[in-house]
């Protein structure tokens, strides 16, 4: 597994994200409210920012966040049980379509999509509830 990279400063992240700085804070805050303690780990990435943030709880990766100019990219992997729960949930059809079209791997089905507005944060939170639902 790649080593952690230097975490960006709050100023670096804010400057790069621009208007999406509040969106980043909202996503991290929402996940932090659901899962404490929340561990943020930065890894190298080929994205323009050069780093990707893993949001982890007790060694389990919950979500991957990639800073972009004016938006935040969210990536999540759902196991088959969680995939079934997601397909039966009230999440938007566009997200269900991405999940249905995602290739199934041993670790689950992964999707990556841009979050452009604070109104999309509850969808991310719902995906996390589904991912971590007790068996």
Q: Are 76 and 111 in contact (CB under 8 A)?
A: yes
Q: Which tokens go with 65?
A: 């966040």
| Domains of the chain: residue spans and CATH | 10-131 (3.90.1150)
| pTM for this entry | 0.92
Q: What is the dihedral of CA 51, 115, 135, 84, to 10 degrees?
A: -120
Beta strands in 1-135 (DSSP E): 39-44, 51-57, 60-68, 71-78, 109-115
pLDDT given for residue 4 in this prediction:
65
**DSSP 8-state code for residue 105:** B
Average pLDDT taken over every residue of the chain: 94
Q: Are 71 and 116 in contact (CB under 8 A)?
A: yes
Structure confidence by residue, pLDDT tens digits, 26-62: 999 999 999 999 999 999 999 999 999 999 999 999 9
């Amino acid at each position: 597994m790649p080593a952690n990279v230097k975490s960006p400063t709050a100023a670096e992240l804010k400057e790069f994200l621009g208007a999406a700085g509040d969106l980043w804070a909202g996503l991290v805050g929402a996940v932090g409210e659901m899962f404490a303690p929340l561990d943020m780990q930065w890894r190298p990435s080929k994205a323009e920012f050069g780093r990707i943030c893993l949001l982890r709880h007790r060694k389990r990766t919950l979500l991957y966040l990639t800073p972009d100019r004016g938006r935040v990219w969210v990536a999540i992997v759902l196991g088959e049980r969680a995939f079934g729960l997601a397909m039966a949930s009230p999440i938007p059809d566009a997200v269900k379509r991405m999940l249905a079209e995602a290739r199934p791997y041993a670790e689950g089905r992964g999707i990556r999509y841009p979050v452009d507005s604070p109104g999309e944060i509850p969808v991310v939170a719902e995906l996390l509830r589904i991912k971590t639902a007790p068996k």
